Structure 1
Amino acid sequence: MLKDHAKIIHAIAVSGEVIGRKKLQKMIYIAKKMNFPFQERFQFHFYGPYSEELTLRVEELCNMGFLNEVKEKKGGYYQYRYTLTDTGQEFLGVNSIDMPSLGDCLTDINTQSARFLELVSTILFFDDLPKEEVKEKVHTLKKSQRYTDEEISSAFQYIESLKGLARH
């Protein structure tokens, strides 16, 4: 059980800081799709792939004092920042995680906007379909986001570049 918790702590540790719950969800989902051994199950929700298990795990990690969650008011909504605590760092020292290229992947993913990661994760959710059908799904399911064909092409290219990072 705690091994899966340690993977989440490790993901945040190598990312430095993750700003936004949605972004954290997308980062873990994308890493999982890049074959990193995250166990959380994801379903398709309003903002793309979402894991209730991941939400609960992060909540538990905050309650245990391994993660620091800071709630900030941003205009009309709240945003959450996640960082590792000293206790979380100690826990990782005892429960080492061997995912060597995860840091490169998550550091890169963390620089992307939550909107772009929503697109990337949506494309990955339907990666068993032909490219044209995936584009149709994006235009249908993400209509309100108004993703352009250029953004969709960029997302497909980005996925290929991540696969390269994940292999190293």
Structure 2
Amino acid sequence: GLFSCPNFQIAKSAAEELKNETWEYSSSVISFINGQFLGDALDLQKWAHEVWDIVDIKPSALCDALTEDFSAKFLRDTKHDFVFLDICIDSSPIGRLIFELYCDVCPKTCKNFQVLCTGKAGFSQRGIRLHYKNSIFHRIVRNGWIQGGDIVYGKGDDGESIYGPTFEGNW
């Protein structure tokens, strides 16, 4: 199953390594030294100066551009699809969640999630809106995880897929 998949184990190990240190991380740059979280680009520059007496005088705009370029290349090289959800609290935007989809492992489930993120399917035969826009997270576990996806009532006990109320297939 999924839990024995190498990609799942890599993602699980990375999440465990972060140890909740990045839940509200606001920088587009995240630095690690020998597998240990260091901080953002400024923290990396300070470390390089202290350890190696290196002074990096690149403007922050250049560092940001290099980071964006590297990130885009990294995402392309995975050969996976990515989708995002823009998150709001009381109609105020707070950030974007980006999801990497392992379509090679569970294509049917990923296709369903991707279409529900984009809203391209419109409405189901039962008249249910097939997208996550304005749906809620019905369960939040502090320092743990969030759960959403009930696009019908938002309580977590109903839902709809692009294939119908439920679907057989891979997870």
Question: Quick one: higher RCO (CA 8 Å, sep 6+), 1 or 2?
Answer: 1
- Tell me the TM-score normalized by structure 2: 0.26
- Tell me the TM-score normalized by structure 1: 0.26
Normalized per residue, the structure richer in helix is: 1
